[in-house]
Structure 1
Amino acid sequence: MMDAIDAAVGLVEDDPLFARRRARAEFVTGSEACRHAVLTPADDHGLGPALRLALACRIATLNADAALAASYRAILADTDADADTRALADGASALPSPLSTIARQADLVTTHNPSASQADIAALVQVGLSNPQIVALSELIAFVNYQCRVTAGLRLLKD
């Protein structure tokens, strides 16, 4: 079974790297399960699918992962995302609240993680995010950054 990481790297079933990934099948199935959990959870805590996809696209773009960004953008195109959510995906920062604060958090954790602080979490609370929403947002940011690092590593191995 192909997963999103295989697709982003361009692996095919007869590729030795495809088989090597399956030597630790739990990493493949675990990564795919995490992807579904952060993008389409049973309880989205008010962070809907379009927002989650827009953030995933934004984070993949910040990581210069064009393939992952394109895959998230294609899925986002099939949603009812409004103009602000699409602008979020495109990297806009001049967004209404709370999107601007959410974008800032995603950008900060993705590009300058060591400088993230409790004040940044407090800013999310100030714009109305609940603790479950902040946890869900953090999980999404962490997963997409993980996914980008795995695809980058696999591309190096493939080349």
Structure 2
Amino acid sequence: MTVSTKVDVIDAVLGLDSSSPVHALRERRAKLKHFTQTSYEAAFTPSDPGNFSFAMRAALAARMAGLWRSAELQAHYKELLEERGSTPGLQAIADPGVVPEGDERLATILAHVDLVTLKPREATRANIEALYAVGLDDRDIVTLAGLIAFVNYQVLVVAGVKMLRDN
């Protein structure tokens, strides 16, 4: 079960209010907008976050948005990270230029996130086996895959809506 937010994240990060023609255009696809927002809520506010804390999810999302150079989404996820209990280690994860040393589990997770975000065709079964090798279980891997898939989808939607907004 997720906690519903009142504000649509994509509208918020792009500064779309009810007077915006792009907001009106998005409302013409209200179901898609709703499903995108509920997917966001499922990814970032599940009733049981498992081994990926709410703060860790925000840090990983900020990292992916940074890899895509989506400044609006990266700022959103960094703010969410602060709200959820940021630590210096999580702040470092949010920076796509950071490669952690001394934590093989985290390094493997981040390498997987970066690979699937930037070069998904290069991901193989060996990458999944590497996640198992550092202690992730099936639930963790599915959680990570869902988070990666959603944030990468969201980045593309934001880019498209931003293009409409700006032109």
**Do these two structures clear the TM 0.5 threshold for a shared fold by scoring above it?**
yes
TM-score by length of 1: 0.95
* TM superposition shift of 1:67: 0.6
Q: Tell me which residue corresponds to 1:136.
A: 143
1:41 to 40, 46, 71: 46
- Give the corresponding residue for 2:90: 85
Structure with more relative contact order (C-alpha pairs < 8 Å, separation 6 or more) = 1
1:110 to 108, 117, 139: 117
2:21 to 16, 28, 33: 16
Aligned to 1:30: 35
**Structure 1 residue 45: Cα displacement:** 1.9
- Alpha-carbon contact 2:100-2:106 (below 8 Å) kept: no
State how many pairs are aligned.
159
How does the TM-score come out when normalised to structure 2? Answer: 0.90
Residues 23-47 of structure 1, C-alpha deviation per residue, up to 9 Å, x if partnerless? 1111111111111111111121211
What is the percentage of aligned positions where both structures have the same residue? 38
- Could you tell me which residue of structure 1 aligns to residue 156 of structure 2? 149
CA displacement at 1:12 relative to structure 2: 1.5
- After superposition, give the CA deviation of every residue in 1:39-94 in whole Å (9 maximum; x if it has no partner): 11112121101110000000001111001100110111123333222211122112
Residue 105 of structure 2 aligns with which residue? 98
Query: For 1:102 and 1:47, how far apart are their aligned partners in 2?
Result: 11
Q: For 1:113-141, what per-residue CA distance to the aligned partner results, in whole angstroms no more than 9, with x for missing partners?
A: 11001000000000000101100000000
Q: Which runs of 5+ in 2 are unaligned?
A: 1-5
In structure 1, the partner of 2:80 is: 75
Q: Verify the 8 A CA contact 2:18 2:24 in the aligned structure 1.
A: yes
CA shift in 2, pair 1:49/1:100, >3 Å: same
127-136 vs 41-50, greater mean Cα deviation: 41-50
Question: d(CA) in 1 for partners of 2:57 and 2:157?
Answer: 20
Corresponding letter in the other structure for 1:142 = A
Distance 2:118 2:155 in 1: 13
Give the whole-Å Cα distance in 1 for the aligned partners of 2:108 and 2:99.
Answer: 9
Shift of 1:2: 4.1
Q: Provide the rounded CA distance (Å) in 1 between the counterparts of 2:141 and 2:52.
A: 10
Structure 1: gaps spanning 5 or more residues: none
